[in-house]
Amino acid sequence: MKKIIIIAMALMMVAGMAYAEDRLSLSGELYVRGWDQEGYASKLSMSYDDQDEASWWEQRFRLGGKIAVAEDVSVNFRMDIGEGIWGLDYTPGAVARPRGTGGAYTHANTIDFDRAFIKIDKERWDFTAGQQYMGLGIVQVVDANATGFNLGLKFNPVKVSLLYARLDENGSTTDEGATEDVDLYALNVGYTGDTFSAKAFYAMGNDGTDVDNSPWALGLNGSMGLGMLNFTGELAFLGGDTDAGATDYKGTQLYLACDANITEALKVGAEIVYAMGTDDPNERQLTTLADWDSFTPFSLNLPHMGGWVSAFPNWDAFDPFGISGGVIGGDISASFGIMDNTLRFGAKVGYFQAEEDVNLPGAELTAYNAFVQYMIATNTDVSVMYLVSSPDADNYDVDDAKAAIVQLDVTF
């Protein structure tokens, strides 16, 4: 009961501030989503021996806000309220209340803050401090919702960003032995033009424990518009070592994408992914320094689903089978809208195989998705999505993985 009172008070305070304070701006989303899946463990993450069947309903209310303290200072936040699976993360019976435990999420609270930071924005520089999103690269070589600092230096049209994140205190603020910190340092240099933009970045992890996990990443990405065509690409190199130097990290990965609006109603696109694998037992493929599962290319065409589903057994587009085997693959997609795009249809199909399959001979998969989306009211739509992934490998008999998803979503 105490938690419910706290939640109600928090919501009333936010609502009251919104009406009483014009310096507060709010945005957010509320969805109700139903799943029916076969052949996956949880939310389309699978292993070759897991053939679960599951169905459930879930919901999430995400609220973000910005409080303009002054013209150049703001306080920003984002929180998820009552996120969970009906009947599992909510108390069962005639009176359903979010309890924030159990199920696929195992949240400790029914209000989860994932952003809370101060931003100072000056003409020549900006600075953020606190709990914030830090991302580097199109494919999120660094993909972290972390606590730290971000200093931006503005040399228009060039911006230089210096990032620091404390990823783990390892259970104690006393930094000795196993309680040494895990930190992330990064540099990003970006150029933005009218039709072309490019970024170069470097990032490194620093683990002071005996494991001495010391990864690094270096990359270059860009995007360009050329008539009706839009191009995006990234090349990244990753390295370092772990296990006190006994295991070397290896990683070279390429992502290319192109889409075109053929007409106002028809859009087509294609993606290519490539990453080198390794067959050396003393090497491990590295694809990211911090991963929040934001880059799931095979689901990015689905309505509101980026980062929520993956066609790959390992959720990693550059090591889809989780064998340090890399990948060679790609996909094509199309979407079509009618009635001023109030009603949209779309589909995507792709093929992927391990670049080095010594750890899982014959590893490959084909996948496709399809969706229909209808705007039933202002900023409100209902959608139905279907995703199939057909993995295969020598000496394995694996059924297709399938998921049907229906969703009602409102954004503001």
Query: What would the pLDDT profile of 332-363 be if each residue is shown by its tens digit?
Result: 999 999 999 899 999 999 999 999 999 899 99
Query: Alpha-carbon torsion 169, 171, 175, 180, what sign?
Result: negative
Residue 109 lies in a domain: yes
End-to-end CA distance of the chain: 29
Q: Could you report the per-residue pLDDT of 187-239, keeping only the tens digit for each? A: 999 999 988 999 999 999 998 888 899 999 999 999 999 999 999 999 999 99
Spatial CB neighbours of 411, under 8 Å, sequence gap ≥ 6: 27, 28, 29, 379
Q: Structural domain tally of the chain?
A: 1
Residues 6+ positions from 341 with CB-CB distance below 8 Å = 265, 375
Give residue-wise pLDDT tens across range 28-40: 999 999 999 887 5
The answer to whether residues 249 and 284 touch, using CB atoms and an 8 Å cutoff, is: yes
Is residue 59 in a domain? no
Q: Is 18 inside any structural domain?
A: yes
Query: What pLDDT, on a 0 to 100 scale, did the predictor assign at position 243?
Result: 92
Q: Is the pLDDT of residue 49 over 80?
A: no
Any idea what the CATH number is for the domain that residue 139 is in?
A: 2.40.160
Could you give the CA distance from residue 219 to residue 234 in angstroms, rounded to a whole number?
7
Instruction: Give 214's strand partners.
Output: 241
Could you count the other beta carbons within 10 Å of the beta carbon of residue 28? 16
Question: 333: closest CA among 372, 307, 369, 386?
Answer: 369
What is residue 292's three-state secondary structure? coil
Predicted local distance difference test score (pLDDT) of residue 166: 94
Residue 372 lies in a domain: no
What range defines the domain where residue 228 resides? Answer: 2-25+64-365+385-394
pTM, entire model: 0.88
In this prediction, residue 106 carries a pLDDT of 52
Paired residues of 215 in beta bridges? 240
CA neighbours closer than 13 Å in the CB half-sphere of residue 252: 5
CA distance 308 to 293: 8
Nearest in space to 31 (alpha carbons), one of 54, 1, 63, 8: 63
User: Is 92 part of any domain?
Assistant: yes
| Within a domain: 269 | yes
Q: Is residue 33 part of a domain?
A: no
Tell me whether residue 294 is in a domain.
yes
